[in-house]
Structure 1
Amino acid sequence: MSVPGTRPSAIARIRALLSQPAHHYRPATTIFLDLNTDRVADELGLVTLGAERGAENRPSSDAQTVDDVEHKVVERVEQHKQDANAIYLEQLHTYDERLNALSFEERFAIIQQAAPEAVGDFRAEATVGRDELFVLRRRLNETEIEREQFRKFHRIERPARLASPGNVILKAGILAILFIIEVVINGSFLAKANLGGLLGGAVQAVTFAALNIIASFFWGMVLIRLVNRRNYLLKLVGVVSFLAYLAFAIGLNLTLSHLREIPPAVSLSDNVGQEVLHRLLTAPYALTDINSWLLFALGFVFSLIAMADGLMFFDPYMGYAGLDRRWIEATRRFADTRGELIERLRDIREDATETMNEAARDLSVRRSEYDSLLQGRMRLAQRFDQHQNQIEQTGRALLEIYREANRKARVTPAPAYFVKPYAMERISYAGGEPSTSARDSLRTMIAETQELLNQQIKAIHEAFEQAMRTYREIDELLPEKKSG
């Protein structure tokens, strides 16, 4: 396809050439109509006029030229000959138009120009694809080098553990379920110690559940995951973060348990927070109700599950999963682009091959039509010559009818020219048929053009194979890392 406003591609020009009709009309056959001798004789009254003029001994015995009746016969015959000549010229013009409509010269010029251009366009397309593929392969190579250096520096020999969409949904679902369960449990436990009842307990439950679940999740996903790093300082940060997390989880859930045991009398005042803080500082484990210990245990377990979920949400080694994902994306993009480029070149090759084969077949069909038209033209000339013979015979028969009636009615001898047969002047056209050398030259040009098309088809196939080799050379220039 060509871009609007630009020159059509070579294949598009060949295809447009093939879509043109061979001629602009339907072939037709015109039959030369023969003269009916009897009918013409009756119309002219030759028998009656011959008898009348013979009784008058006209024309005279020494007459040298035809009389007026014979002259009418000759005029009628000549008129029919001219009519037949007009039909012949009209049919001849039709054959000439059909021969010209084959437009071999135009086809030769377009094919000889467009066919090599099609090969050039194909090679240009392959070159553009190679440049595009080279950029992607270099990007992939750089990503491979970065990945291998990361694996080598951090002494990693395993593949990255990438979180699939299903695993992400599962782990996010676990967090959501933990959050909902803890909100329900905390709300039911805190409602007894909250003047707001279920609504007040639900507000506190959502707050503590968010801290307990979400904060634990991010603690495990970001800080505690540093314990897997090779750097000892980062490992220490991870260990310290884990200990800090334990203190946070224990303190948060103890706070929740002490909040549950606040007496209603204290809840009526504004010193609930101070009372809980005082208990945590003086007697953090002094819980008097088994339900409070149960609330603490459930909250702490949920916190550990959320922390472990965050710890395993991505690859344990921080930074490795993202790098491996970029490598996989670069590999996929390179492979997809290469497949698309090969498929596009294959489509262009098949389209060009089909179009050129069709152009070669079109030349063969037009050559056959050219030969058929020449044969038809020759048959037309022969039929016209035969028709002129028939006209001459009809003219002789008409004159003989008149002369025979004239002889029978005469007393004096008939003129001497009565025995001389009528000779009609023939119409002939010389040089109308193409010469043998011209026809041979045309056949040679057709054969050469078809051979050119076959050569260009082979050239396109060779260009396709060359493009495949250049695409493989990109892998040789930028080879994939074996350890990858």
Structure 2
Amino acid sequence: MFKTPKNDTVVSVYEPVEFPVEDHEDLALNLDVINLAKQQARKELPSSNASLPDANEVNFTNIIKTKLTQAVNSVDQSTSNLKDEINSLSVSKELSHAKEMSKEFERDISSKLMSRVKELEQKKEDLNYAEDDLNQFKKKHGLRRSADYPLSHWLTVGILLMALIFEAFMNGMFFSKGSDEGLVGGIIYATLIAIINIGIGFIFGWWLLRYKNHCSKFISLASILSFTILMIIPFIFNLLIGHYREALVIAPDNAHNIAITSFKQGMLSISDINSWLLFTIGMMFCFLAIYKGYGFDDAYPGYGKISRRKDNLEEELLDDRESMLDELDDIHSDYLESLDQIYDNVVIKEKQLSNLCSAFDHQNRILKGYKSHLNNNIEYVINLYRDTNESERETTSPNYFISREVPHIGDIHLDIKYTDKQESIRQDKEQLAVLLPGIRNAMLSSKEEYQTKIDKIYKS
């Protein structure tokens, strides 16, 4: 996805280099101005016809000028980072990224959604075939209603499982009375019997009985006759179980043979009430399994399967459409957020540049103020030196004493320079502000184009 340029540089908090304001009198004391002036006066120096300052004045001036030189060097060093930040600051990347964002957005959604669009087209084609198959099936079998089948089989499975457990437990209690293994052995036998009993009932209801609804009279009649005849199987099976349970009480070691012999002599010759109860429970759960098997799918054989295929494809198609539209919205939102972030970065850099330039100019003003202060120091020290010398000497002081002219520090120039790009960045920001609506509209158009394409496939 399109990467938003990050502004990793925070606005600099520049601490300007401050310079100490030295009191004139303290400076004169440190330079020993008065004593040096008196020493020269006792020697009647400088001479009356001297036209240039003596060595002491030159030394005072040089000492103070040295302080300014040190200050300039200190400022040059401290503003070097400022200069680097100012000169390196640029919004050209942000501007070029913004200009390319609409094209990048279109490429991004194309790369991420094109394969899914093809899958959606294939799924829609499958759905159309499934609808054709369903319509042909309904026409062939004379069906006008919609298929009626449970959306979930968990309830049916749960009921049958509970029935199996209940039947196994009840039968297990009956079988345990004639089993060497007791209740555990009885439950094991009963579980196997319950699985067979409920399984037969479920198959009869799910497969055989539903064919009674077939449009073919022959198939419908065959289904009813087959079901009626085959119901003898669970009837006989449960009677045999009743005979077997009764035989277990009489002779556990030979229960199988006794049960078969008793059944042959008379199917209904069971005399034990518990064995009849066992038969009744077995038939009840067999009929329950038939009922749940019959309702496991649509009553018309094959209709539920073919209708369910169409419904599942329809649901998958809708889910895929919603998922693609959501993804398209997310991508679009991310790009809009990235576009806003680009503009915010430009605004931050503009403020950052303004702060950096202000800090640089402020440092210059501090340095110029310090230069003015040093000039005042020179003027005070030189005048004090001359006044003291003049008052202590007997000869006439030099003419340059009378003129009160003192040396001054000339103009200062920082070695560190920067390129003022404030106007350029301001223009770039204004250009970006003008471009933003067009970029947003271009991305919205690309998004709507894909939305239309997706909806067209879905509705076709």
TM-score in terms of structure 2 length: 0.82
Mean CA deviation greater in 208-217 or 352-361: 208-217
What's the offset of the Cα at 1:395? 0.8
> Is residue 137 of structure 2 the alignment partner of residue 153 of structure 1?
no
Query: 2: distance between equivalents of 1:240 and 1:34?
Result: 121
Q: Aligned match of 1:57 in 21, 44, 48?
A: 44
Provide the rounded CA distance (Å) in 2 between the counterparts of 1:476 and 1:305: 44
Which is further off, 109-118 or 52-61? 109-118
2:85 aligns with: 98
Whether the aligned pair in 2 keeps the contact of 1:116 and 1:456 (CA below 8 Å) is: no
Instruction: Measure, in 1, the Cα distance between the counterparts of 2:180 and 2:68.
Output: 128
CA distance in 2, matches of 1:203, 1:348: 60
Alignment of 1:234-273 (within 5 A): 234-252=219-237, 272=258
Query: Shift in Å at residue 406 of structure 1?
Result: 1.2
Distance 1:257 1:356 in 2: 82
Distance 1:238-1:79 versus aligned 2 partners, 3 A rule? same
- Give me the whole-angstrom Cα distance separating, in 2, the residues matched to 1:276 and 1:367: 105
Q: Distance in 2 between matches of 1:166 and 1:311?
A: 14
How far off its partner does 1:363 sit?
1.0
Alignment of 1:235-314 (within 5 A): 235-252=220-237, 272=258, 275-276=261-262, 278-279=264-265, 287=269, 303-314=286-297
Name the structure 2 match of 1:319: 302
Aligned-pair identity (%) = 20
Query: Across the two proteins, how many residue pairs are aligned to each other?
Result: 453
CA-to-partner distance for each residue in 1:290-321, whole Å, 9 max, x for gaps? 95888777765654444344333332222222
Q: How much has 1:69 moved relative to structure 2?
A: 0.8
Shift of 1:202: 8.4
Per the alignment, residue 208 of structure 2 pairs with 223
Report the alpha carbon displacement of residue 63 of structure 1 after superposing the two structures with TM: 1.1
Match of 1:440 in 2: 423
Give 1:344's aligned amino acid: E
CA distance in 2, matches of 1:306, 1:433: 91
Rounded Cα–Cα distance in structure 2 between residues aligned with 1:57 and 1:275: 161
Q: 1:393 to 1:300 in 2, by over 3 A?
A: closer
* Structure 2, unpaired ranges of 5+: none
Is 1:429 the counterpart of 2:413? The answer is yes
1: CA distance, partners of 2:95 / 2:186:
92
Query: Following the alignment from structure 2 to structure 1, what is the Cα–Cα distance between the partners of residues 390 and 255?
Result: 160
Question: C-alpha distance in 1, partners of 2:185/2:377?
Answer: 128
For residue 265 of structure 2, what is the amino acid of its counterpart?
A: R
Amino acid at match of 1:222: W
SS at match of 1:10: coil
The aligned residue for residue 173 of structure 1 is: 162
**1:256-287 deviation per Cα after TM superposition (whole angstroms, max 9, x unaligned):** 6777898979x97996477457536xxx67x4
Aligned residue number for residue 386 of structure 2: 403
Q: Which residue of 1 aligns with 2:114?
A: 127
Shift in Å, 1:239: 2.4
Counterpart position of 2:32: 45
Q: 1:155 to 1:357 in 2, by over 3 A?
A: same
Kindly provide the amino acid, as one letter, of the partner of residue 47 in structure 1: I
Q: Could you report, residue by residue, the CA deviation over 1:76-117 in whole angstroms, capped at 9, with x for unpaired residues?
A: 121112122123323432431331353434544555556742
After superposition, give the CA deviation of every residue in 1:397-419 in whole Å (9 maximum; x if it has no partner). 11111111111122222112222
Amino acid at match of 1:10: F
Structure-2 residue corresponding to 1:480: none
Relative to structure 1, the CA distance from residue 314 to residue 454 in structure 2 (aligned partners, 3 Å threshold; closer, same or farther) is: same
Counterpart code for 1:221: W
From 373, 385, 389, the equivalent of 2:356 is 373
CA RMSD, Structure 1 to Structure 2 (Å): 3.9
Give me the TM-score of the superposition, normalised by structure 1. Answer: 0.78
